[in-house]
């Protein structure tokens, strides 16, 4: 009888832990999905000239990164060189492939400039499903509509086969 009781107690504790874990997951999912961590992601043709985005909303106060990202279909070294990720310009791996990311950007709210910058001021990179180069950041206020305008100064069509995207995303450090 003692073994059966111990087994029943073990089962009930196991069920309790399972239910507790599932409850934690159920409560965490709405919090994680509560915010749009990436309010803008759109295809972009990286040809010289102006590019304007549609308006986007920020769901949370904080810093938002502006980035150009590409898929991983190209050779990694080639991608790194073209995005300007290689810290050594005279690197053997980048011979004949210069950094093609050269653009100015402006973020506006209701037509008024709230932030501006140049890709030369930022060389931060990230990799996940795609590879990206951060070209700037701005402070976003919860519930505010913004627009982003780029002035692409250099022909970056060498990245066209890698499906380049213009991305605004919540800064991971924030």
Structure tokens at 10: 């073990």
Phi, psi of 150 (to 5 degrees): -115, 150
Ranges 30-39, 93-102, 140-149, most confident: 140-149
Considering the domain architecture, whether residues 24 and 40 belong to the same structural domain is answered as no
Considering the domain architecture, whether residues 124 and 95 belong to the same structural domain is answered as yes
Q: The domain that contains 163 carries what CATH number? A: 2.60.120.790
Q: What is the Cα–Cα distance from 150 to 164, expressed in whole angstroms?
A: 14
Angle, alpha carbons 155-157-163 (nearest 5°): 140
Considering the domain architecture, whether residues 61 and 74 belong to the same structural domain is answered as yes
pLDDT band at 30; cut points 50, 70, 90: low
Considering the domain architecture, whether residues 51 and 123 belong to the same structural domain is answered as yes
The pTM (predicted TM-score) of the whole model is 0.77
Considering the domain architecture, whether residues 29 and 110 belong to the same structural domain is answered as no
Considering the domain architecture, whether residues 142 and 118 belong to the same structural domain is answered as yes
Domains identified in the chain, total number? 2
Q: Residues 75-89: pLDDT tens digits?
A: 888 888 899 876 555
Rounded to whole angstroms, the maximal C-alpha distance in the chain is 82
Considering the domain architecture, whether residues 22 and 63 belong to the same structural domain is answered as no
Considering the domain architecture, whether residues 118 and 73 belong to the same structural domain is answered as yes
Please state, rounded to an integer, the average pLDDT across all residues of the chain: 84
Domain that holds residue 160: 36-170
Q: Residues 102-140: pLDDT tens digits?
A: 999 999 999 999 999 999 998 888 888 899 999 999 999
């Amino acid at each position: 009888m003692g073994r059966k009781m111990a087994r029943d107690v073990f089962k009930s504790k196991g069920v309790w832990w399972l239910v507790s874990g599932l409850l934690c997951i159920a409560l965490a999912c709405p919090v994680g999905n509560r915010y749009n961590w990436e309010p803008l992601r759109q295809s972009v043709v990286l040809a010289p000239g102006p590019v304007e985005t549609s308006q986007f909303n920020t769901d949370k106060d904080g810093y938002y990164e502006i980035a150009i990202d590409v898929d991983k279909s190209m050779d990694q070294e080639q991608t790194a060189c073209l995005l300007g990720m290689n810290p050594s310009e005279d690197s053997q791996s980048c011979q004949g492939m210069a950094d093609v990311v050269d653009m100015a950007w402006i973020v506006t709210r209701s037509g008024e400039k709230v932030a501006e910058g140049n890709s030369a001021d930022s060389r931060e990179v990230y990799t996940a499903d795609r590879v990206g180069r951060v070209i700037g950041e701005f402070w976003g206020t919860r519930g505010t509509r913004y627009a982003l305008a780029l002035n692409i100064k250099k022909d970056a069509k060498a990245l066209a086969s890698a499906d380049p995207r213009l991305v605004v995303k919540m800064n991971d450090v924030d």
